[in-house]
Amino acid sequence: MRALILGNGSLLVTLDATGEVRDLYFPHAGLENHTGGDTRHRIGVYCDGALSWLSEDPRWEIQVSCEEDSLESRITAKNPAIEVELAFRDIVYNESSIFLRQITVTNRAARAREIKLYLGHKFTIGQSHGGETAYFDPATKVIIHYKGKRAFLINAECDGVPFSDYAIGITHFEGKQGTYRDAEDGALSKNPIEHGHVDSVIGLYNRYEAGAEKQVRYWLAVGDSIERTLELNAYVLKKSPEHLVKTAGNYWQAWINRYPWSFYRMSPKTVALFKKSLMFVRAHVDDGGGIIASADAAVLQFGEDTYAYVWPRDASYAALALDHAGDTNVAERFFNFCNAVISKDGYFMHKYLPDRSLGSSWHPWIRDGVEQLPIQEDETSLVIWALAKHYTHSHDLEFIESLYNSLIEKAANFMAAYRDTATGLPKPSYDLWEQKHGVSTFTSAAVYGALSVTADLAGILGKEDRKQFYLAAATEVREGILTHLFDPETGRFAKMIETVDRKTVYDSRTDISSVYGVLSFGVLPPDDPRLAKAFENTVARLSVQGGVMRYEDDHYYDDNAADGVSNPWFITTLWYAEYLTARAKSEEDFAKVRDIFEWVARHALSSGVLSEQLSATDGTQRSVAPLMWSHAAYVNAVLNYLDRLAEVGICPACNPVP
């Protein structure tokens, strides 16, 4: 779990709850992670004969926050026992791959004394240990780590004076813990070079009067060569670290405040979370158009993989949020990414890496001896659905036309053909949650929605015969949903129809994705009594800790498997907010929506970060954080709320985005 994410599309950095760097991706957002696993960039303070590391000394009182109007940190670290306080302002420069930290060091003691600040570095360059070199460059007085086509330059100064001490050594080899231990006596060895498993430490030493503070300016330049990092270092020195931090902050302030939203009766805390969520979604976007699910590599400690992939599902919801918020240019890059990776037969695979190569998967090509496509069809349909929504915001007909044959029609033809002729429903695929294989209500609804909007786009482009073809296919899917996946007696939509031992089995467990799909993709209108009954029954059965579970007997990260209570998710809880919004007509109706926004904000980290889910026992965050989809869901829910306020005439100008 990470406390904050900072990035610019090619360099992405995460900070943990102690303010230390834990993930550092370059040259893609999500690929390669050069500080993955248990690697960290340590921060320590030496005074009065003892060294205190922020990540090891429990006496540090640390709070990690994020600016409301800029993707930069606000971190305070106080240690009353040693009477030292640190205040951080961190940002990734928007124009180049430079991570900058401004650290205010304050002597809270009533006497003058020397305080030494130590900054340690350990990389896993190219996502692997070993074969690295680190050295001190006496010409430029910097530390450089490199391996192959990846280089990292470290520099720092305190009140204009460059760092005065350093050490480079071996770590995690032959029983050596790391060179950072060299700082424990308050002096470094100045060993100038090592290779293999290496780490480095720099020290900034100053005498502080009682109550005095000093400014430390630190930067990490990243490039594909040592020469490039030296160029970036020269650029920082020429412009000054303060200038780069200021201009990067100005960029984010301009980006987040492009539109004068009026957040009708939303509390300052929920408004702040909206802005932070929008920036966190943007930080997960790679320059090449891929949008990763999460930069949090902590999950590696519990499995053998991460969430740093482009799921077309998650990324489509991010594109919807960005378009809805007016950033059509970034969303457009994602659709170009999709155009490049879609299969020749018109479907998307499970997930991709940001460089457009195929990602890992657990969906097999053969099941029970029968060949199958290892896909979640909702991912194909969601891309087309999001692309059609993109057109409603951008009105860029040339862009739609450029993708029509290679992406839109190709995917729609696949969806129209990949159906059961008897029921009209899609053929089996893996469900939204990537767990079960069958014909789910959500996927069926998403296919209906995608075919419907494809018909609209075909009509706009004057392709009348294709419009009618897709409309007919969509109608058959809708009829199949209402005939085969809806139970009028219970008023519920089935989770899935699956084949078990060659027999057709209905999974009738309550799953909020089923009824949300029916709402979201327009299978039934919000005021349809069937939908109303199904939604309220679903929420009643799945409510826990003020939120909503995914489905009955969900055991993913479940702390309470024995009692049948599952964890609530931010995404699913916000789906309920979307339903309430779609039906809202009065002030009282909208107040219920705001209550959900308050619940989400109350369970966010102090930085505004949202995880995937919450513990059903104590309400603490579980699984990866930040989860980009959680933030995209919050952005979309808030903007739907503003749109609905305009529709009913309560706040006509709440959402000024076209």
Name the nearest CA neighbour of 658 among 315, 389, 318: 389
Question: Angle between the 570-583 and 628-647 helix axes, to the nearest 10 degrees?
Answer: 10
Residues 203, 298: one domain? no
* Chain-centroid distance, C-alpha 654: 26
C-alpha to C-alpha distances, 213 to 91, 109, 202, nearest whole angstrom: 21, 11, 20
Domain boundary among 229, 255, 281: 255
Q: Averaged over 570-583, what is the pLDDT?
A: 98
490: its two tokens: 């219970």
Domain boundary among 255, 283, 301: 255
Residue 175: its pLDDT value, please? 58
611 three-state secondary structure: coil
CATH code of 185's domain? 2.70.98.10
CB 16 within 8 A of CB 82: no
Residues 486, 586: one domain? yes
pLDDT at 304 > cutoff 80: no
Residues 173, 158: one domain? yes
**351: containing domain:** 258-647
pLDDT at 562 > cutoff 90: no
- Residue 605 counted as domain residue: yes
Residues 229, 275: one domain? no
Tens digit of each residue's pLDDT (9 = 90 or more) over 507-532? 889 999 999 999 999 999 999 999 99
How far apart are alpha carbons 417 and 426 in whole angstroms?
9
Q: Is the dihedral of CA 613, 69, 103, 61 positive or negative?
A: negative
Residues 364, 398: one domain? yes
pLDDT at 31 > cutoff 60: yes
Provide the mean pLDDT of the chain.
95
Residue 298: its pLDDT value, please? 81
Residues 303, 249: one domain? no
pLDDT at 301 > cutoff 60: no
pLDDT at 273 > cutoff 80: yes
Which helix H or strand E contains 136, and what residues bound it? strand 132-137
Residues 303, 357: one domain? yes
Q: How many domains does the chain have?
A: 2
Interior CA angle at 253 toward 224 and 265, to 5°? 135
Residue 644: its pLDDT value, please? 97
pLDDT at 178 > cutoff 90: no
Tens digit of each residue's pLDDT (9 = 90 or more) over 56-84? 999 999 999 999 999 999 999 999 999 99
- Residue 495 counted as domain residue: yes
Residue 127: its pLDDT value, please? 85
Residue 62: its pLDDT value, please? 97
- Residue 343 counted as domain residue: yes
Of the pLDDT bands very low, low, confident and very high (cuts 50, 70, 90), residue 504 is confident
Domain boundary among 222, 255, 288: 255
Residues with Cβ < 8 Å from 201, sequence gap 6 or more? 42, 118, 119, 120, 121, 166, 167, 179, 180, 182, 183, 188
Residues 251, 262: one domain? no
- Residue 239 counted as domain residue: yes
Burial readout 521-541 (b: 16 or more C-beta within 10 A, e: otherwise): bebbebeeebbbebbebbbee
In this structure, which amino acid lies at residue 656? Answer: P
Tens digit of each residue's pLDDT (9 = 90 or more) over 380-412? 999 999 999 999 999 999 999 999 999 999 999
Tens digit of each residue's pLDDT (9 = 90 or more) over 621-647? 999 999 999 999 999 999 999 999 999
Residues 298, 396: one domain? yes
pLDDT at 104 > cutoff 80: yes
C-alpha to C-alpha distances, 240 to 156, 221, 233, nearest whole angstrom: 12, 14, 10
- Residue 268 counted as domain residue: yes
- Residue 4 counted as domain residue: no
Write out 634-648 in H/E/C secondary structure: HHHHHHHHHHHHHHC
Lowest-pLDDT choice from 34-38, 560-564, 575-579, 600-604? 560-564
CATH code of 587's domain? 1.50.10.10
Residue 176: its pLDDT value, please? 67
- Residue 332 counted as domain residue: yes
How far apart are alpha carbons 444 and 300 in whole angstroms?
33
Percent of the chain having pLDDT more than 70?
97
Which helix H or strand E contains 312, and what residues bound it? helix 312-324
Residue 38: its pLDDT value, please? 77
Interior CA angle at 314 toward 583 and 34, to 5°? 145
Tens digit of each residue's pLDDT (9 = 90 or more) over 321-369? 999 999 999 999 999 999 999 999 999 999 999 999 999 999 999 988 8
Residues 355, 423: one domain? yes
How far apart are alpha carbons 278 and 286 in whole angstroms?
15
Of the pLDDT bands very low, low, confident and very high (cuts 50, 70, 90), residue 300 is low
Residues 596, 508: one domain? yes
- Residue 5 counted as domain residue: no
Of the pLDDT bands very low, low, confident and very high (cuts 50, 70, 90), residue 299 is confident
Residue 555: its pLDDT value, please? 87
Of the pLDDT bands very low, low, confident and very high (cuts 50, 70, 90), residue 227 is very high
Residues 267, 213: one domain? no
